[in-house]
Amino acid sequence: SLAVITQSPTNIEDDIRKNTQNLFIFRLQDEKDAKTVAGMLGHIHIDEVNYLSGMLTKLKCGEVIIKLASKRYFKFLSLS
């Protein structure tokens, strides 16, 4: 196992992002980073990417989106 933790997912090499299995996503401030992560969650349609990236930039403290390799869809959780 290897954990990659960053505040800027666009700085991670494409091959690493493509092979990432489990994602724990907290608020992203940069729109480009948010769109990159939306793509990592499997969204390719521009409307889906825009909606999800907007959601990622508005997450509050203690809110997280989790995508596990064993699941097709992601889950939103509030930890507070």
Domain spans of the chain, in order of start: 12-78
pLDDT (0 to 100) of residue 42:
81
pLDDT (0 to 100) of residue 74:
84
The model carries a pTM of 0.82
Distance from C-alpha of 73 to C-alpha of 63, rounded to nearest angstrom = 17
Is 3 buried (19+), middle (13-18) or exposed (0-12) by CB count in 10 A?
Answer: exposed
pLDDT (0 to 100) of residue 26:
95
75-78: strand order across its sheet? 23-25, 63-67, 75-78
Q: Which residues of the chain have pLDDT under 70?
A: none
pLDDT (0 to 100) of residue 80:
75
pLDDT (0 to 100) of residue 1:
73
pLDDT (0 to 100) of residue 25:
94
